[in-house]
Structure 1
Amino acid sequence: MFSGRRPLLYSFQASLPRLPVPSVDNTITRYLESVRPLLDDEQYNQMEVVANDFKRDEAPKLQKYLILKSWWATNYVSDWWEEYIYLRGRSPIMVNSNFYTMDLLYVIPTHRQAARAGNVVHAMLQYRRKLERGEHAPLRALGVVPMCSYQMERMFNTTRIPGIETDFVQHLSDRKHLVVYHKGRFFKVWLYYGGRHLWPSELETQFQRILDDTTEPQPGELKLAALTAGNRVPWARARLKYFSQGVNKASLEAIETSAFFLTLDDEAHGYDPDKLRSLDLYAKSLLHGKCYDRWFDKSFTLIAYKNGKLGVNAEHSWADAPIVGHMWEYVLATDCFHLGYTEEGHCKGDINKGLPPTAKLQWDIPLECQEVIEDSYMVAKEIADDVDFHGCLFDVFGKGLIKKSRTSPDAFIQLALQLAQFRDKGEFCLTYEASMTRMFREGRTETVRSCTIESTAFVRSAQRLDLFRKAADKHQNMYRLAMTGSGIDRHLFCLYIMSKYLNIDSPFLKQVSSLLKPHHIPHLQQVLQP
């Protein structure tokens, strides 16, 4: 760090500290404090009794085993978090788990769909090459403290593979192709030519060939990707029964071993200030699309709309949103400020007419499998239709004014949310805000419980400034505790998992699990039954 040399991406990995296991006393005290605004006196007194019983009876043994785990595991939380929160979930990952990233709202460098996809895919390949060589600068908190880069390793060449009881994440070494979906057809596109990456102009040519292809989808091909959007068990069984041999196996393998997945969407989306719902429809399209035009199991699906707008739908088990955001910022900056476009909107560079043609993937999908695909589609469509999204662009002021007022922008927003919730519903609720723990090796996230005694006092007080300051300071302190390994939710989560492994019944942990983030714990009772 002080040698004057430019450190590589993984230069600090070995020196990062391990995530510490908080003391049971501190976790219980902070937990009781967090639920106090949500419980009446009788409920709180009952919770206090149950918590103290847990601290005296079950907690010492669970904590001892958790500390033992922390000595041999790189991170005492992350492996269980990935397994039980993500991979063992049997419900659809579309909407429930996957997340999306938008394009630049006000800028479209070109309206040519193939050209925009060509530049961005090339920029992603550049990013991947730097990632493999460790040439990206390591991220640092406040520009000083190095953060863990482990999650970045699985950004490309990665797929979530469905299983009957649990999924697993398949990560491969350098993959030389991607798979493109357009109007119900899947195409395999090679990313290398003569030992080098295809240039943006060459990629544009290949993508334009796909856009110009007028062949019809094969039977069952149109909605095939709906299998990745529905429940996991039917998908796992269908994969074993219908995709384990012949052309189906070869084509599925092409998708699952690709660098990433690209959808050349036949719709136009993006923010249009003259269309009230444009941002809403854009977000919904990125989140779930038509339920069959994104491969939700890939580490990410790049979506290129026919008007040149872009977006990403990312699978969540392998990494958290800031990791994808880091890649996306690099890609958009490279696209707009480095690669650029011609005056006609095409990619710069010569057109190579000697490129091998794209290969259309072949399928032989029997009627029984088509019925499974349709069932998965109906499950996914019901979820998608239930998504009520409204995005609002707020441009009256931003974080600059908030900072001038000597207030944390994050605390300001969280207090505004508490105020809005109370004005709308007349009550408070448990609130989840994610913070990162990447200052520790293989750290992922921790919960900040932003509904506090101080925030509720501010909301009830007709918004007194002194109480606002007190609530904002409290929130900032909680965020610092979460970032530095003193959060409560991951500790409670691991105590709960340990209790299931050791067949220890804990009324307190049962109550805690019932109050955790709804989509995080629903399946734990089933998958961890002794």
Structure 2
Amino acid sequence: MAEAHQAVAFQFTITPEGIDLQLSHEALRQVYISGLRSWKKRFIRLKNSVITGVYPASPSSWLFVVIAILATMYTRSDPSMGLIAKIQEHLPVSQSLSAQCQTVVSAVLFSTMLWLSLIFTMRLCLKQLLSYHGWIFEQHGKMSNTTKVWVALVRIFSGRQPLLYSYQGSLPNLPVPAVKDTVKRYLESVRPLMNASEFERMSKLAQDFESSLGNRLQWYLKLKALWSANYVSDWWEEYIYLRGRSPIMVNSNYYGMDFLYVTPTPIQSARAGNTLAAFLLYRRKLNREELKPWLLRSSVPCCSYQFERMFDTCRIPGEITDTVQHWQDSEYVAVYHRGRYFRLWMYKAGRMLSPREIEVQIQKILDDPSPPSPGEYKLGALTAGDRVPWAQARKKFFCTGVNKRSLDCIEKAAFFVTLDDDEQGMMGDDPAASLDRYAKSLLHGKCYDRWFDKSFSVVVYKNGKNGLNAEHSWADAPVVAHLWEFVLATDSFQLGYDEEGHCKGSVDPMLPQPQRLSWDIPPECEEKINQSLSIAQALADDVDFHVYSFREFGKGKIKKCRISPDAFIQLALQLAYYRERGHFCLTYEASMTRLFREGRTETVRSCSNESCAFVKALESGEDEDLCKRLFRLAADKHQNLYRMAMTGAGIDRHLFCLYVVSKYLGVESSFLKEVLSEPWRLSTSQTPVQQVELFDLVNHPEYISCGGGFGPVADDGYGVSYIIVGENMINFHISCKYSCTQTDSHKYGARIRQALLDLLKLASPDQRETGRTGKTQAKKDL
């Protein structure tokens, strides 16, 4: 064990001749190497902090300014207009400093102040430029002259070779919309969901709120916006995620899947070796800020704040509210296998283990025959149940002794790994059903074989398939998707495997054994574990999941119709829901607000007056030309709603923050209370493919990501996640609950498929093209 090795690093014995001190040279060498690695990391962080701190200028530009000022002075001109002489007058008098040296020092100080002023001015100009969002409302491919000039200025003031966090100080703050604008947009969004009397009643509540309490709450909210980087994000994290007392499994956590058609190796330990190595390579790039900032249209930066807590992070339960704790550079991962927990060191002598070495270490865990200790087997169920019992159990049974040390090991690990004994993926005689089982396994597993509190848990199955389960409070899905894309691509295309399916690289025979974690679980704690497991199991058993690939067409054909693929899919979801239920519902689509500092998400209310008018016209058999026109209007309306949400003119985050202010002030608002209690019976999200350059879908079309999904938000609703892959595929992940007799994930999936086909037939400029069967088109796509 690592603790045992550290304990014998030095020994001493007291003898009549004095103290006999014995040192372990290998232990001292390891201490030296570990310290050296730590100082290298500190130096890199310091260097990156300096580069980011002076961005969009560079540290070398300081020398250029100094030389330019000194050169100008030697031409007998004063670029400072007397300021250098003023600085020289106030310099401390030194006998060893000549008048010429004092002049040089004064010039250097003036140059430094001028340089800092230029940096501040450039950053302020860039911040003002990034506050312009007219570009996002222009038709793609058609740029106005104003936007062309704006893009040129942004590129000029953006500097060169930005690091991951270089733009953070230049991003604008999220604006606070006017109350009247938010109320107006809200009423417009609910108009198709209410009858005349209901809408009249809601309009009166909204008008009363706008004319009285709304302005008072808005004043406090604007005050918060002046002092905070983002007036939404901290309250959103606390009140939406961390204060939730129900299980985070299914209700909050989400998952990401492996490749759909390819399993790079069937050897579980080998797949784990490459996967874990890829995660650590990503963390190295993250710590060195070598990841490129995410730029929209190659020019507009997005906030990178959420990347900071990706690794070495855990959600800690509390009786009133949870907290998110982040540590620095953990050198191990926590591993679960057959009810046992292990600490697996990923570094030795300051170097990261090779994929082959990680494979060997994982195999040692797989071959370990030791049984779980009493209470250890289902310990992870505490993280899957209600939060209050977990917080109470943690405080009572895991605050001292061996349990605290083992729990600290899990919570402070870089991330969590589950070596699953099941086989998952698209396989067998019924591949559709196997994908459904795969999704449920990643979402909740056995309810005790994941650590749902970790920032993310990696799952590696017996047949070499993998996936991950992510906790939601610290970041949103696109950030985790960025990590997962890198891992999948690095695993298959960079690290690779040998002919036998094993990882590449050499193995150090002196690697220490993985460390088994010890537990002392009393019977009272086991009872708490079983209670949490029963709650979590009931929740997991109620989840109805359906995953399928729509291969009849993809964004290629949709774009030929000159319609946004996202708007096209959202309208298909509306059409499918209306055909199933006979009415419309409040629809949630996640949109990002990362154009602003520390931005997270905003809601796009996809069910609009225009979308409802189109669906009703299509279903009632109206004239085709009318349906086409209404279809275009609905798609354009959706795109406008999406763009407004991205640019800070959304509805729901503003109303949410006004509600929080009202609670702090102790005042009640019937309007806000009613708005925030409305159920989202259709909750949707698109998983974006952000790093297309990592995957060669032309030469390797089989390496297609299946995306990820989440559980239903409402007990009587659907959760729908979709990923647009390449030009010819859309993958859907649909969830609902068995306990609701009105929902069925497979039936809704079938309706979505038919709705997509019907919409393409309506919108396609050449309807003969849409007459092919899905089977024929799938063959062509392959």
Tell me if TM exceeds 0.5.
Answer: yes
- Deviation for aligned residue 1:6: 1.8
1:283 corresponds to 2:439: yes
1:206-257: per-residue Cα shift (whole Å, max 9, x none)?
Answer: 0000001111110000100000000000000000100011110110000000
Please point out which of 387, 394, 402 is paired with 2:558: 402
Alpha-carbon spacing, 1:214–1:337, altered in 2? closer, same or farther (3 Å): same
Q: Aligned partner of 2:637: which letter?
A: K
Contact 1:148 1:442 (8 Å CA) reproduced: yes
Q: 1: CA distance between counterparts of 2:460 and 2:301?
A: 34
Give the gaps of 5 or more residues in structure 2. 1-154, 620-626, 682-711, 716-782
Give the aligned partner of residue 316 of structure 1: 472
- Aligned runs of 1:307-456 on 2, under 5 Å? 307-456=463-612
- Deviation for aligned residue 1:521: 11
Contact 1:402 1:409 (8 Å CA) reproduced: yes
- Deviation for aligned residue 1:273: 7.1
1:193 corresponds to 2:348: yes
Contact 1:302 1:313 (8 Å CA) reproduced: yes
1:506 corresponds to 2:662: no
Q: 2: CA distance between counterparts of 1:163 and 1:517?
A: 27
Give the aligned partner of residue 47 of structure 1: 202
- Deviation for aligned residue 1:351: 2.2
1:470 corresponds to 2:633: yes
Say what the alpha-carbon RMSD is for the aligned residues: 1.3
SS of 1:222's partner is: coil
- Which structure ranks higher in relative contact order (CA pairs < 8 Å, sequence separation ≥ 6)? 1
Contact 1:85 1:520 (8 Å CA) reproduced: no
SS of 1:391's partner is: strand
TM-score normalised to the size of structure 1?
0.97
1:366-394: per-residue Cα shift (whole Å, max 9, x none)?
Answer: 00000000000000000000000111211
Give the aligned partner of residue 219 of structure 1: 374
1:442-474: per-residue Cα shift (whole Å, max 9, x none)?
Answer: 000000000000000000002611100000000
SS of 2:480's partner is: helix
Contact 2:354 2:507 (8 Å CA) reproduced: no
Alpha-carbon spacing, 1:465–1:273, altered in 2? closer, same or farther (3 Å): farther
SS of 1:487's partner is: coil
Give the aligned partner of residue 390 of structure 2: 235
- Aligned runs of 1:23-34 on 2, under 5 Å? 23-34=178-189
Alpha-carbon spacing, 1:238–1:245, altered in 2? closer, same or farther (3 Å): same
1:248 corresponds to 2:411: no
- Deviation for aligned residue 1:7: 1.2
Q: 2: CA distance between counterparts of 1:494 and 1:521?
A: 22
1:84-143: per-residue Cα shift (whole Å, max 9, x none)?
Answer: 000000000000000000011111111111111111111110100110111100001222
Contact 1:108 1:308 (8 Å CA) reproduced: yes
Give the aligned partner of residue 311 of structure 2: 156
Give the gaps of 5 or more residues in structure 1. 523-530
Q: 1: CA distance between counterparts of 2:243 and 2:306?
A: 19
- Deviation for aligned residue 1:322: 0.3
Q: 2: CA distance between counterparts of 1:267 and 1:106?
A: 18
1:179 corresponds to 2:296: no
Contact 1:95 1:384 (8 Å CA) reproduced: yes
1:458 corresponds to 2:614: yes
1:55-92: per-residue Cα shift (whole Å, max 9, x none)?
Answer: 00100100000000000011000000000000000000
SS of 1:277's partner is: helix
Q: 2: CA distance between counterparts of 1:150 and 1:261?
A: 22
Give the aligned partner of residue 65 of structure 1: 220
Contact 2:232 2:653 (8 Å CA) reproduced: yes
- Deviation for aligned residue 1:194: 1.0
Contact 1:513 1:521 (8 Å CA) reproduced: no
Q: 2: CA distance between counterparts of 1:344 and 1:462?
A: 56
Contact 1:85 1:521 (8 Å CA) reproduced: no
TM-score normalised to the size of structure 2?
0.66
Q: 2: CA distance between counterparts of 1:327 and 1:274?
A: 32
Identity %: 63
SS of 1:301's partner is: strand
Q: Aligned partner of 1:311: which letter?
A: G
1:8-37: per-residue Cα shift (whole Å, max 9, x none)?
Answer: 101111000000000111100000000000
Tell which structure's C-alpha radius of gyration is larger. Answer: 2
SS of 1:181's partner is: strand
- Deviation for aligned residue 1:274: 3.4
Q: 2: CA distance between counterparts of 1:394 and 1:274?
A: 19
SS of 2:182's partner is: helix
Give the aligned partner of residue 643 of structure 2: 480
- Deviation for aligned residue 1:190: 0.5
